[in-house]
Amino acid sequence: MTLECEAPAARVRPTAAEVAMKQTWHHTTVLAVRRDGVVAIGSDGQVTLGTTVLKHGAAKVRRLAGGRVVAGFAGSVADALALFTRFEAKLEEYGHNLERAAVELARDWRTDKVLRNLEALLVAADRTTTLLVSGTGEVLSPDDHVVAVGSGGPCALAAARALVAHTGLPAAAIVRESLVIAAAIDIYTNDHITIEELST
């Protein structure tokens, strides 16, 4: 009597998108909305270690490049601060050109042995462009001028899109209301909200 066994399936290397989807960002929610010549980026203030809340009022949105760029991060605080430092250096190196600095940061992030282990996502905007930068090398500009990242990102994104479509609220108000909604749903997001704005 012989038993037939299936050969183990060959290990398939996951795509960059699959890796990004498997990563869990239990640290915050960041939302950017551009409307009527104004871009607003906001985040909650919760810092979580495992199932413990360590801080309620962390500032995860900053002005960079002398106030010309606003950026927010989701992910490990130490990793995000390292990214902020790198990103600000890239902005200075490329004359505050947001797109060029973001592409160069993404390239370094994907190829550098130290940077590729950083667990964070970056949302950045200047007066004309909004970008999402990830460690898998993506630099994405949202089609509808709304982008969200973090554990509460899907909730905030859905709320913001609904508010953009069905209200006349300004960008900062949409960001605030959407983050409040996300905070009521996602346990890793709180209602200590920080918002920065830029006008064209």
Q: How many domains does the chain have?
A: 1
Over the stretch 73-111, which tens digit does the pLDDT of each residue have?
A: 887 777 777 788 889 999 999 999 999 999 999 888 888
Give a yes or no: residue 7 inside a domain: no
Give a yes or no: residue 55 inside a domain: yes
Over the stretch 177-187, which tens digit does the pLDDT of each residue have?
A: 999 999 999 99
**Which stretches of 36-170 are assigned E, i.e. beta strand?**
38-43, 47-49, 52-55, 61-64, 69-75, 120-125, 130-133, 139-140, 146-150
Q: Which domain holds residue 194?
A: 26-199
Q: In which band, very low, low, confident or very high, does the pLDDT at 47 lie, cut at 50, 70 and 90?
A: confident
Average pLDDT over residues 28-41: 96
Give a yes or no: residue 5 inside a domain: no
pLDDT of 52 above 90: no
Q: Give catalytic residue positions.
A: 28
DSSP H or E segment with residue 9: none
Whole-model pTM?
0.83
**Cβ atoms < 10 Å from Cβ of 82:** 15
Give a yes or no: residue 9 inside a domain: no
Residue 108's CATH number: 3.60.20.10
DSSP H or E segment with residue 156: helix 153-166
Q: In which band, very low, low, confident or very high, does the pLDDT at 21 lie, cut at 50, 70 and 90?
A: very low
pLDDT of 17 above 70: no
**Of 18-27, 39-48, 73-82, 97-106, the least confident:** 18-27
- Please give the pLDDT value at position 180: 97
For 3, the 3-state DSSP assignment is: coil
Give a yes or no: residue 20 inside a domain: no
Distance CA 33, CA 162 (A): 12
Q: In which band, very low, low, confident or very high, does the pLDDT at 152 lie, cut at 50, 70 and 90?
A: very high
Give a yes or no: residue 17 inside a domain: no
